[in-house]
Amino acid sequence: MKLITEWTTPLRYKPYHHWPAAYQDMLEGAIQKSDWKQAFHIQPKTGLLNDPNGFSFYDGKWHLFYQAYPFGPVHGVKSWYHMVSDNLVDWEQHDYALLPDSPYDSHGVYSGSAMTVEDKLFLMYTGNVRNEKWERHSYQLGAWMNSDMQVEKITKPLIENPPEGYTHEFRDPQVFRYQDQYLMAIGAQTDSEKGAVLVYQSNELADWELLGELRYTTEEMGFMVECPNLVFVDNQPVLLFCPQGLDKDIASYQNIYPNMYVIGSSFNKESLAVENASDLVNLDEGFDVYATQAFNAPDGRVLSVGWIGLPEIDYPSFEEGWAHCLSIVKELSIKNQHLYQKPVIEMQELRQNHDILQGTAQAKNLLLYSPDNNVYELKLELDASTSGSLYLFADEQNKEGLKLSFDSKHDTISMDRSKAGIPFGESYGSIRTAALKRQDKLTLHIFADRSVCEVFVNDGYCVMTSRVFLKDPKQTHIFLQGFEGDYTGDFWTLREMNE
């Protein structure tokens, strides 16, 4: 069997049951033997994964779904695939939870959220439907999952149409409990093609009443807002969202579409205002994070997970027939009106062998460590009075690698992937730079997983993420270059999930 590389629209919308099982088996085999297959990140079983959906805690377990197209690395007709975990780290593949099998979601079960209601999990999502002229109709749909993890769709749409004044670019409902009601935030586009977030309210989850547009900025939010999530961190509202086509004068970004956040002091339900909303900030200062989903977990934490991938960019793994992964789970907090994102404490359950790194760097090119492979956690603390670069995924001579440069004069950090394996997405630049707040020590908390790297800088003050597609998996060296000063660190090998 040959891998399909020419994707026509009819092929992308071919019903799942028309595909031979052997084709999917072939795709699964290709991932299994890939050098880019990850150890502890959620990646698609086959084909393409995009947005995280329905992140929730129900019946004593964590549930996380993702947008899936099982037959290739393209955005074909989507469904929800269901992952289950006891610890936010070991995720079992369960099954497809929602398939595009009804007249209201025939062209894709699009993104949405989930929430425990009594003894069931309520799922709310967008049904994407195209007519003969390929015009879009967006329905907002519901489903209930029981403790046997069986999902039953609610047959009638919960919201049939976008409200007057808005187009059918209307999707990604996020439901949450607020005071004694259910609220829902949803991405929208006005008739004049401006991005917006709408808020609906319901008592029983069946009838939804439009309250109006969420007010969190006076600027224009591009042409469409995707995947809005309103969460409450220490009672402060934080809106995570993807304003597609945002003017770069409003907030600077380099990815094709940004994933941003604003923090407010409080949320006024009457006026739908995120009061004293901050400027827009990039949720991730690296390359590939989009469609982040967050929720207020019952244990009091605010947890988030992002899609590590971007729309409309070709990634090297497409050649192998698969695409993308999810980020590790992060915990959100606010300090001095700034959002901090940290790996959840449960990530420590993956740790295996430990080594301590310590010394004073004087050499121009110091080999810090040579792991056996690129599946590890590294915590480094560097004297922040100087500048230098850390290279990950480097070859023996340190000619190639993922370069993190820190500049104490300007209080910046940058991630340069121009020499980190097979280039991709280059028209959006190969370097990202983020501003830091001055402190005595620079801390870098790094999770490397074969073809992905997530760097938490200064205790999660900023996060920089990138996919890395090495031609040679033996490029595992870690170097410090141009840095003069003291460093201390911890290195752990990490196990595969579910091992």
Of 390, 377, 401, the residue nearest 483 (C-alpha) = 390
Of 338, 334, 389, 339, the residue nearest 364 (C-alpha) = 389
Closest approach of ligand FRU to the CB of residue 69, in Å:
8
Closest approach of ligand FRU to the CB of residue 257, in Å:
8
Tokens 């956690």 -> residue? 377
Of the pair 36, 290, the CB lying nearest ligand FRU is at 290
Closest approach of ligand FRU to the CB of residue 311, in Å:
6
Of the pair 110, 139, the CB lying nearest ligand FRU is at 110
Closest approach of ligand FRU to the CB of residue 337, in Å:
28
- Among 62, 123, 226, 491, indicate the residue that binds ligand FRU (CB under 6 A): 226
- Among 62, 71, 104, 110, indicate the residue that binds ligand FRU (CB under 6 A): 110
Closest approach of ligand FRU to the CB of residue 107, in Å:
10
The answer to whether residue 292 forms part of the interface with ligand FRU (CB under 6 A) is no
- Among 38, 126, 189, 217, indicate the residue that binds ligand FRU (CB under 6 A): 126
Of the pair 369, 428, the CB lying nearest ligand FRU is at 428
Closest approach of ligand FRU to the CB of residue 108, in Å:
6
The answer to whether residue 51 forms part of the interface with ligand FRU (CB under 6 A) is yes
Locate 432 and state its tokens: 């990202």
Of the pair 214, 436, the CB lying nearest ligand FRU is at 214
The answer to whether residue 77 forms part of the interface with ligand FRU (CB under 6 A) is no
Of 443, 435, 449, the residue nearest 41 (C-alpha) = 449
Of the pair 171, 467, the CB lying nearest ligand FRU is at 171
Give the chain's end-to-end CA distance (angstroms, integer): 31
CB 476 within 8 A of CB 373: yes
Locate 209 and state its tokens: 């009443």
CB 467 within 8 A of CB 49: no
The 165-194 site mask, x for binding ligand FRU (CB under 6 A), equals ------xx----------------------
The answer to whether residue 227 forms part of the interface with ligand FRU (CB under 6 A) is yes
Closest approach of ligand FRU to the CB of residue 313, in Å:
12
Active site members? 51
Q: How far apart are CA 405 and CA 334, in angstroms?
A: 26
- Among 43, 46, 111, 189, indicate the residue that binds ligand FRU (CB under 6 A): 111
Amino acid identity of residue 127, one-letter, is G
Of the pair 172, 454, the CB lying nearest ligand FRU is at 172
The answer to whether residue 481 forms part of the interface with ligand FRU (CB under 6 A) is no
The answer to whether residue 50 forms part of the interface with ligand FRU (CB under 6 A) is yes
- Among 78, 137, 301, 467, indicate the residue that binds ligand FRU (CB under 6 A): 78
CB burial of residue 144 (10 Å; 0-12, 13-18, 19+): middle
Closest approach of ligand FRU to the CB of residue 190, in Å:
16
Of the pair 51, 383, the CB lying nearest ligand FRU is at 51
The answer to whether residue 341 forms part of the interface with ligand FRU (CB under 6 A) is no
Binding residues for ligand FRU, how many (CB under 6 A)? 14
Of the pair 105, 226, the CB lying nearest ligand FRU is at 226
- Among 38, 46, 56, 67, indicate the residue that binds ligand FRU (CB under 6 A): 67
Q: Applying CB under 6 A, which residues contact ligand FRU? A: 50-51, 67, 78, 110-111, 126, 171-172, 226-227, 290-291, 311
